[in-house]
Structure 1
Amino acid sequence: MTPPLIFLIDDEPLFAQPLSLMLRQESFDVEVFASAEDFLAREPYLGVGCLLLDLTLPGMDGNTLLEALQKRPMTTPIIILSGTGDIAATVRSMKHGAMNFLTKPIQKEDLLRAIGEAVALSRRIQPFCSRLATLTPRERDVLDAMLLGLLNKQIASRLGISEKTTKIHRGRIMEKLSVPSLPELVRLWVECGLPLGTGAGSAATPGGAPLQPDKS
């Protein structure tokens, strides 16, 4: 079995290097990034793992990165590693999808426990998040409208398509995602770290195309 992949985003080599070594000794694969921009330049990862993120980074800070990551499916739950116990920063990061918040210096057992919980969640959501990436841009637009609670007639009007076409897209979405009901879809969507009710359409998944009305 392929080891879980741990992403570490921290610009302090004296912290990142020994931490990455310790994680490799614990049988994790590790990729280290010194900036949020470097991480975003990497090809999206839809495997099992987690992301360790320092909020204080050069250039794009950690919370701005969290906002950017909310626009795509994530199979890697996020653990914040902070040099301060700032309550406001904690609340903000949790609102932006972080799973846990640890304050430096971090005890090894606390970190490994948090990583274990994150990896367990990653294993649960990985199949669903991977299937999300198979949806077409139009299916992603319909899915976004479904998550807003719109009826088929409302979705059709919103997207400039027929109600019949909307029903076809809806059926294909449920089949591709292998979910039995909309409530189950919503639960998995939230576990993937994606926000509800954004109206983001296809922008919420990798490779999404802008909304374009059609005649179907």
Structure 2
Amino acid sequence: MIPNLDPAGRAIVYVLDDDHDLGAAVARLLVRQGHGAKSFEDPEVLLSTYAGAPAHCIVTDIMMGSLDGFALADRIRTMDTALAIVFMTAWPTTANAVDSVRRYGGLDYLEKPLDEARLLAAVAEGVAWSRQQRDIRARTGTLSPRERQVFDLLVQGHSNKAVAAILALSPKTVEDHRAAIVAKTGASGLAQLIALTR
């Protein structure tokens, strides 16, 4: 289970930069904005910490020593796909900007020196996105394998009758699964079930 808040009730944000002063300054800024922020200089230490204390958002430099920000993103995504990542760099390139979003799932690509307003907006958006993703996973995580199959087909727009035909079930069984799905997810109907997948 991924925690939603730190012990003080704040969203968790990790800042990774091999420049200690910059990382600490960004973490202090985020703390002043109400986040539970911590700075790291070493990606391996962050990864080790993350395993036991996941965050909602990571703000990471791209160019570091042995493990750059993109390699970090690849590794951390294997642990947590509901984590928002904001990349930052003092050496911006168009290729890296495109890669940061398309290849590595970054939320934003910030140039140093950082624009504080844009950083804060990106982190706020990242925290909101992460919380939403984790809420969806929690709500759909209790579905049985068969309920998950029915859910996936329903949100693709298939009728109960079509789902029954695809899964070789009776329409009544599909209705029963649909009722269980609605109860487990707290959705009030098909529109809210579809919204869970967006």
CA positional deviation for 1:29: 0.6
TM (norm. structure 2) is 0.63
Q: Which has the larger radius of gyration?
A: 2
Structure 2 matches for 1:119-158, cutoff 5 A? Answer: 119-121=127-129, 127-144=135-152, 146=154, 151-153=162-164, 156=167
Deviations 1:186-216 (A, max 9, x none): 44433xxxxxxxxxxxxxxxxxxxxxxxxxx
- CA pair 53-169 structure 1, distance change in 2 beyond 3 A: farther
Give me the whole-angstrom Cα distance separating, in 1, the residues matched to 2:126 and 2:26: 17
CA positional deviation for 1:128: 3.4
CA positional deviation for 1:20: 1.6
Q: Tell me if structure 1 keeps the 8 A contact 2:150–2:163.
A: no
Give me the whole-angstrom Cα distance separating, in 2, the residues matched to 1:93 and 1:147: 30
Instruction: Could you tell me which runs of 5 or more consecutive residues in structure 1 were left unpaired when the two chains were aligned.
Output: 191-216
- 1 or 2, which has the higher helix percentage? 2
CA positional deviation for 1:65: 4.0
- CA pair 177-82 structure 1, distance change in 2 beyond 3 A: farther
Aligned position for 1:196: none
CA positional deviation for 1:102: 1.5
Give me the whole-angstrom Cα distance separating, in 1, the residues matched to 2:17 and 2:140: 29
Instruction: Could you tell me which runs of 5 or more consecutive residues in structure 2 were left unpaired when the two chains were aligned.
Output: 1-7
Q: Tell me if structure 2 keeps the 8 A contact 1:66–1:97.
A: no
Q: How many residues align structurally? A: 180
Larger RCO of the pair (alpha carbons < 8 Å, separation 6+): 1
Give me the whole-angstrom Cα distance separating, in 2, the residues matched to 1:182 and 1:92: 36
Deviations 1:110-161 (A, max 9, x none): 212322333455566664343233334554455445556664146526xxxx
Amino acid at match of 1:179: A
Give me the whole-angstrom Cα distance separating, in 1, the residues matched to 2:14 and 2:60: 8
Aligned position for 1:50: 57
Give me the whole-angstrom Cα distance separating, in 2, the residues matched to 1:139 and 1:23: 41
Deviations 1:12-35 (A, max 9, x none): 434322222232233321244524
Deviations 1:7-66 (A, max 9, x none): 334454343222222322333212445247436523556xxx433234446177144247
Asked if residue 86 in structure 1 is aligned to residue 93 in structure 2, the reply is: yes
Amino acid at match of 1:25: R
Q: Tell me if structure 2 keeps the 8 A contact 1:54–1:62.
A: no
Structure 2 matches for 1:43-192, cutoff 5 A? Answer: 49-56=56-63, 58=67, 61-65=71-75, 68=78, 72=81, 74=82, 76-95=83-102, 97-121=105-129, 127-144=135-152, 146=154, 151-153=162-164, 156=167, 162-163=169-170, 165-190=173-198
Aligned position for 2:3: none
Identity of aligned residues (%): 24
TM (norm. structure 1) is 0.59
- CA pair 90-184 structure 1, distance change in 2 beyond 3 A: farther
Once the two structures are overlaid, the 10-residue window that deviates more, 118-127 or 79-88, is 118-127
CA positional deviation for 1:106: 0.9
Aligned position for 2:12: 5
- CA pair 24-187 structure 1, distance change in 2 beyond 3 A: same
